[in-house]
Amino acid sequence: MLKKSSLVLWGAALFVAWNGLLLLFLWSRPPGPASSSSSSSSAAERGRLTEEVIRLAQDAEAELERQKELLRQIHRYSGLWNRRRSATKPPAPSPSPPAPDNAAATTVLPVLVMACDRSTVRRCLDKLLRYRPSAQRFPVIVSQDCGHAETARVIASYGDAVAHIRQPELGDVAVPPEHRKFQGYYKIARHYRWALGQVFRTFRYRAAIVVEDDLEVAPDFFEYFQAAFPLLLADRSLWCVSAWNDNGKEQMVDAGQAELLYRTDFFPGLGWLLLAELWDELEPKWPRAFWDDWMRQPEQRRGRSCIRPEVSRTMTFGRKGVSHGQFFDQYLKFIKLNDRFVPFTRLDLSYLKKEEYERSFLPRVYAAPEVRVEELQGNQRRELGTVRVQYTGRDSFKAFAKALGLMDDLKSGVPRAGYRGIVSFVYRGRRVYLAPPSDWTGYDPSWS
């Protein structure tokens, strides 16, 4: 813009200078010789001078038009030059993130590690730093609550490889008397609110991957999130991407299909990606405790789904915690962590968009032959291959899930890893769908 203005000013100065010289020439021209002897010669002289003035005026007018055309050309070509320059000039580096929506391939995706008083955070950080393909694209931010000195020293030992931020409010949270034993859950919710606020409000990132300090990540953890991020941007029926399969025990997944991904109506957490827009929506009503179950309520989910893998890209090694090992011994310690790198960014993941997914997934489920749980348990009817077990209500779901080794709890009526009530898993080496009838009309929040 500065270059364009300079060229226009130069042209205007040239025009003024030319016309100034022309006027100076006319004013300084000596008068013709006096002649009192003959009026005819005087008249001839006046005629000659008039013709010359007219000719000079015509020349000046022609020059004026030429100068105006020159200015128009300067204006036109300087604009074209500026457009070419802006098209070829590399963009200036911006302070941290966010890249535009149409630049999903280069958007910075920070990993927010939620830490407290477990010095074993080292195991989590070691794997994150080992597998991340770029420190610029995947900065690691450790947010520490609790003020635990030994954990702080472990985090500090990584130097500039990670950013260490500290939750400033370390005191107890005021809780109802009946919730005194749940103080830890209130502190966790407070920490999440503060840490996510830092990521999206202070650092102004476009999106973030959230992990806890007791999670170990798979070799293709970053590849998975990088590939799924554009889906999250494009399909507004999605609200998160999770690395976790709640029913991902080794004998219940097909490790040979590590590239297989699903939609799920259940919020899995345990390594998940969200957009800044979602935080804009959730922050004003963020709960005081039990934030993950709050996320699973219909008021927050609003009919949206998450992406989750067949084989988990995270596993938890933290039996110690506020839940006192709930589910850990029975389920969590058996979760299969993927060990085969899948090049997700080179795969077509468009099948996960809502309309396309339902056109393919639902017919596949309901085309599978229906069998009874007892037949599965007795390893009967193997010739059928993929099969379906149908439940008709809360009690039958819980009974079948327990009999088949699935997690049988429901949150606001949604089964873990379920989509439209369907849970996909492997039982004794074959694919099984635990599904409601095909005329399913929605979740019943009273199921729990």
Cα–Cα distance, 226 to 99 (Å, whole number)? 14
Please give the DSSP secondary-structure letter assigned to residue 387: E
- For residue 306, give every residue at least 6 positions away whose Cβ sits within 8 Å of its Cβ, in sequence order, or none: 238, 239, 240, 241, 242, 263, 264, 265, 266, 267, 268, 272
Q: Which SS3 state, helix, strand or coil, does residue 335 take?
A: strand
Cα–Cα distance, 130 to 120 (Å, whole number)? 16
In order, the DSSP letters of 261-272 are EEEESS---SSE
Q: Are 258 and 340 in contact (CB under 8 A)?
A: yes
Q: How far is CA 431 from the centre of its chain?
A: 32
Cα–Cα distance, 235 to 308 (Å, whole number)? 15
- At residue 434, φ and ψ (nearest 5 deg) are -90, 110
What crossing angle do the helices spanning 121-131 and 149-156 adopt, rounded to 10°?
Answer: 20
Q: How far is CA 352 from the centre of its chain?
A: 16
- At residue 401, φ and ψ (nearest 5 deg) are -60, -45
Burial bucket for residue 167 (CB in 10 Å: 0-12, 13-18, 19+)? buried
What crossing angle do the helices spanning 121-131 and 221-234 adopt, rounded to 10°?
Answer: 80
Q: Are 369 and 389 in contact (CB under 8 A)?
A: no
Among residues 292, 293, 408, 444, the one annotated as catalytic is 292
Please give the DSSP secondary-structure letter assigned to residue 170: -
Active-site residue flag, 292: yes
> Could you give the residue numbers annotated as active site?
292
